[in-house]
Amino acid sequence: MNEFELIERYFSTQGQRRGDVVLGIGDDCALLRMPPGMELAVSMDTLVEGVHFSLGTAPEALGHKALAVNLSDLAAMGAEPAWTMLALTLPREDLPWLEAFSRGFVGLADRFGVQLVGGDTTRGPLSITVQVNGLLPAGTALRRAGAQVGDGVYVTGTLGDAGLALLQLQQQGVRDPAVINRLERPEPRVKVGMALRGLASATIDISDGLLADLRHILRASRCGALLQLERLPLSPSVSALVSQNDDWLLPLASGDDYELCFTASPSSHDEIEHISRELGLPITRIGEVRKELGLACELRGTAYSTGSVTGFMHFK
């Protein structure tokens, strides 16, 4: 199969998914119609073998995750996902791999009403780059800057599950499929992000760990925060591990959860609880924005030092 046949067979399977795609895969460019009054939110992320995933990762999960981490960025801006592009570098023609990968990718795209409108296919060490485009009513994007003193700090879902999955994969012991799933098939919090437009004062998605990502909000907003660790939303497995050795590293500093962290005025609290109930997703207030710069933590009223805990960094 040449690359054109590959593309045709595995990546043109969605057909016409959206009315605003004037021209999809197959020409030199895709043509997309922007609705009037909307802004385009664009983002791109790359997954590299050995850095973002290990050799043994199921290709179907990879296809899912490559798109999910990008949709998570759109969620963190409150954008509605619309179009995506995929640049694939493959070491060889591996049809079962491509079939599974595209199933994971297109399955998630279909679920969020996203159309794959183009990309690039090349030979080389396995690398997956996805670009996404989302739509936002002009001026409504949720940025990192905007947190105000007195705002609550919130997170969606539970924290530390992807980090625990990584531990389980590295060790020879138990593997909890539900936990591994959180690492391999993260669920982008698109609906929450969209619902938070006009409510959240600052938003980010947690890809590098709560502390690292919340610090981005605080830096951009020029303020600090105090977190109450006992409020952190934990799954039973992470909770068990934390209480076992009183080590909060997992929920505070492990990455890849792709939950949203945001700040919002106390006057928005009831509406946030309403959104949480409507979407069936926990949204937990874990602390407060304050004037004193920096990120402080306390555990049941006593200061808790997070030392030099940082998130994952590629260049350090």
Q: Which residues bind ligand ADP (CB under 6 A)?
A: 7, 11, 25-28, 86, 88, 116, 118-121
Backbone angles phi, psi at 68, to 5 degrees: -60, -40
Q: Please identify, using beta-carbon distances, which residue of 28 and 270 lies nearer to ligand ADP.
A: 28
Task: Report how far residue 40's alpha carbon sits from residue 25's, in angstroms, rounded to the nearest whole number.
Answer: 20
Task: Report how far residue 106's alpha carbon sits from residue 115's, in angstroms, rounded to the nearest whole number.
Answer: 8
CB of residue 1 to Mg ion, shortest distance in Å: 17
Crossing angle of helices 95-111 and 59-77, in 10° steps, is 30
Which of ligand ADP, Mg ion, none sits in contact with 252, Cβ below 5 to 8 A by type?
Answer: none
Which of Mg ion, ligand ADP, none sits in contact with 188, Cβ below 5 to 8 A by type?
Answer: none
CB of residue 71 to Mg ion, shortest distance in Å: 24
CB of residue 74 to ligand ADP, shortest distance in Å: 19
- Exposed / middle / buried, residue 297 (Cβ in 10 Å: 0-12, 13-18, 19+): buried
Selected range binding Mg ion among 18-26, 114-122, 165-173, 223-231, rule: CB under 5 A: 114-122
- The DSSP call for residue 312 is -
First to last CA, the chain: 42
Q: Please identify, using beta-carbon distances, which residue of 5 and 246 lies nearer to ligand ADP.
A: 5
CB of residue 82 to Mg ion, shortest distance in Å: 22
Task: Report how far residue 233's alpha carbon sits from residue 230's, in angstroms, rounded to the nearest whole number.
Answer: 8
Per CB under 5 A, the list member of 93, 120, 247, 292 interacting with Mg ion is: 120
Q: Please identify, using beta-carbon distances, which residue of 88 and 223 lies nearer to ligand ADP.
A: 88
Which of ligand ADP, Mg ion, none sits in contact with 26, Cβ below 5 to 8 A by type?
Answer: ligand ADP
Task: Report how far residue 306's alpha carbon sits from residue 199's, in angstroms, rounded to the nearest whole number.
Answer: 30
CB of residue 226 to ligand ADP, shortest distance in Å: 46
Q: Please identify, using beta-carbon distances, which residue of 26 and 282 lies nearer to Mg ion.
A: 26
Q: Contacts for 90-93 with beta carbons within 8 Å, 24 or more apart?
A: 90/121, 90/122, 90/123, 90/124, 90/126, 91/123, 91/124, 91/125, 91/126, 92/123, 93/1, 93/6
Q: Please identify, using beta-carbon distances, which residue of 121 and 239 lies nearer to ligand ADP.
A: 121
CB of residue 47 to Mg ion, shortest distance in Å: 20
Give the Cβ contact number of residue 277 at 10 Å.
10
Selected range binding Mg ion among 23-31, 119-127, 163-171, 207-215, rule: CB under 5 A: 119-127
CB of residue 86 to ligand ADP, shortest distance in Å: 4
Amino acid at 20: D
Binding site for Mg ion (CB under 5 A): 120
